[in-house]
Amino acid sequence: MNLNIRSIFLMSQAVGRLSMIPRRSGRIINIASVAGLSGSMDLKAIAYHTSKGAVVNYTRALAGEWGPYGITVNALAPGMFPSKMTKGTIQQVGVDALAKGAPLGRIGDDDDLKGAALLFASAAGKHITGQILAVDGGVSAVHSH
């Protein structure tokens, strides 16, 4: 909870108060997860799912609150990507098995979040706020978690 939601809350409040609100302009891009879009029967992951669900709703609430200041607030919701956190799962289950559950037939790589982040950060996203973009190869479109 400290890493996934408290840190986002404290950082956005500080940056908003000191810079974005006075300038009446800004872009906030939070990192949620597809795990925050639904519940899970995996009790070992309940804190993770809960904290990422909080990021989803914090993003939406802050977008509503700070929209009048010209600030957009959105979130990326990655699916399975190689990371320190997923290393054990990838080793145990295997990339091929994880990729089979995705309509695109693969897990994420280093390039897959760049375009979505650029959209939210640039003028191309100036009329997008309060949105959560799943970057998961289509997994959230065809499976419930």
The pLDDT tens digits of the residues spanning 118-131 come to 999 999 999 999 99
DSSP per-residue codes, 80-128: S--STTTHHHHHHH-HHHHHHTSTTSS---TTTTHHHHHHHHSGGGTT-
* pLDDT of 25 above 70: yes
Residues annotated as catalytic (active site), given as ranges = 48
Q: Which overall architecture, per CATH, does domain 2-142 show?
A: 3-Layer(aba) Sandwich (3.40)
Confidence of residue 144 (pLDDT cuts 50, 70, 90): low
Q: Using CA atoms, how far apart are residues 81 and 2, in angstroms rounded to an integer?
A: 22
Percent share of the chain, pLDDT over 70: 99
What's the mean pLDDT when you consider all of the chain? 94
Taking only the tens place, the pLDDT of each residue in 28-78 is: 999 999 999 988 777 788 999 999 999 999 999 999 999 999 999 999 999
What pTM was computed for the model?
0.92
* pLDDT of 145 above 70: no
Q: What is the helix (H) or strand (E) element at residue 51, kind and residue range?
A: helix 46-66
Domain boundaries, the chain: 2-142
Q: What b-and-e string marks burial along 71-104, b requiring 16 or more CB atoms within 10 Å of the CB?
A: bbbbbbbbbbbeeeebeeebeeeeeeebeebbee
